A and B are shown apart, each in its own frame.
Chain A
């Protein structure tokens, strides 16, 4: 299986060699994180989710998941996020929504006074 590494902008071309449904070898990774990415992408692809949440006084707070989420859970989590509003002030790093999926939290990425 061929993959493009998305860990960093270098975008290495990776090759995952499978044998009996298991990973035998990972080629092309420029760093260890690429190897980890290839493993994860093969078994359970994950993504960091970034979006916004409206404040109660109608401003927008940019947020992200504090860890990558399984790719196929992204829309589910978006729906949860879109149902809430947050109350300012918000500080960068504040948890806005706890455990939206397993141990993944949604945190603010900007200060809103």
Chain B
């Protein structure tokens, strides 16, 4: 068959676009090289719905940030994912930094951001008792919010699939050719034909674009390391706390997550290797030092995990949304505030496709809510993960609900089983057994994530 649209990349941009297109009478597929959706930057970022004062006025970033921020609450409600408007603060530690805050404030007004104010030290401490005594001023953005980035991506893709979108996992795109008005996308799992292609390949968007003869841009991975603190520290801060931004980004933040942990990070380092998601000693130390400047009394002994995300950055710093060839769209360089912008970019993409001649007819049988797999009620009372209180029912649900979890990590991202303070120490053996049973595979075939990431290597004779 020939799909109307093939989206390459199942990150938040790809997933949101798929969901947007699933409203119309179109055949859509998403091609993803990893074993799950949200495996790139969408899995490892700060989870912030930015208010929109950061991006330079007039850029795509500014436009889609503000639009996306306004859409986010409604979308999260529709998808049934957590969203919290916790507000954010940008801290100034020196008098001269107050000018930077003013600049941000004015830019925010220009970008159309509501709910901004500049507050003094006293007011800062009133709102956040643990913020450093050295913070003199802050830009307080009441519309700043938080979501869980992979929960949002999973839900968006699931909803798209419920409305007919097909997802091909572990299918790396090898080449793209054009034949008789349709593209042929050659993947590691076979060839997929489509009339339109949307390149949402994140770090590899440059590589995909080159496959159709466009070498006009390059993606540089910008490495960001994070530390996650135990839920017992919930309440350390309520707002997302930033320092005044530098050229390399918004710096290390201290923020609550929607799940009640405290997130510290990211570092910011341009690197060459697009697969280098290692955490480093230097990075971890940088986060600790930087976070401690903003917030007092952070008990770093309560770190439960560390991780690294790679942001896809372009040279000019703005989102790159182009059509280098007829019927081929690039959504590239979607780094921060990409998560916030994704819903707005998705709408923009559907408009672009329409302008390119794709007919958009609304589906009659479109379902506005996700289809959740029904599990026997009693299974929800059988606890598997004690730290996060996840039941067997929730795990079975994750294995059979779109997009279906096929690995231990995929279950973790959907249910939080193994994401708590013991990091899967207790529940992993049970999760492995449940996965094997529900997928009808041998326990030795159960994987942690993609590739040959098997959990157990054999059976005792």
Contacts and interface: CB of A to CB of B under 8 A. Distances in A.
Does chain A touch chain B in the assembled complex, meaning CB atoms less than 8 Å apart? Answer: yes
B460 A83 contact: no
A60 B460 CA distance: 10
A16 B317 CA distance: 75
A54 interface: yes
B460 A52 contact: yes
A82 B460 CA distance: 8
A50 to B, nearest CB: 14
A52 B460 CA distance: 9
A29 B156 CA distance: 69
B461 to A, nearest CB: 5
Interface in A36-77: 52, 54, 60
Contacts of B460: 52, 54, 60, 82
Interface in A56-110: 60, 82-83
Interface string B418-461: 00000000000000000000000000000000000000000011
B441 to A, nearest CB: 16
A68 B461 CA distance: 23
Contacts of A60: 460
A8 B460 CA distance: 30
Contacts of A54: 460-461
Contacts of A82: 460-461
Nearest to A53: B460
B443 to A, nearest CB: 11
A54 to B, nearest CB: 7
A78 to B, nearest CB: 10
B184 to A, nearest CB: 47
A60 B429 CA distance: 15
Contacts of A83: 461
A86 to B, nearest CB: 13
A94 to B, nearest CB: 20
Nearest to A79: B461
A83 B460 CA distance: 10
A52 B461 CA distance: 10
A85 to B, nearest CB: 9
A63 to B, nearest CB: 12
B176 to A, nearest CB: 48
Contacts of B461: 54, 82-83
Contacts of A52: 460
Nearest to A52: B460
B429 to A, nearest CB: 12
Nearest to A85: B461
B53 to A, nearest CB: 60
A60 B461 CA distance: 11
Nearest to A51: B460
A60 to B, nearest CB: 8
Interface string B56-67: 000000000000
Nearest to B459: A54
B436 to A, nearest CB: 13
A52 B459 CA distance: 12
A53 to B, nearest CB: 9
A106 to B, nearest CB: 15
Nearest to A83: B461
A64 B461 CA distance: 17
B247 to A, nearest CB: 58
B433 to A, nearest CB: 12
Nearest to A81: B461
A18 B461 CA distance: 43
B8 to A, nearest CB: 43
A100 B269 CA distance: 61
Nearest to A58: B459
Interface string B177-219: 0000000000000000000000000000000000000000000
Nearest to B461: A82
A58 to B, nearest CB: 9
A5 to B, nearest CB: 31
B33 to A, nearest CB: 36
Interface of A: 52, 54, 60, 82-83
What 7 A-B pairs come out closest when comparing CB atoms? A82-B461, A54-B460, A52-B460, A82-B460, A83-B461, A54-B461, A60-B460
7 contacts: A52-B460, A54-B460, A54-B461, A60-B460, A82-B460, A82-B461, A83-B461
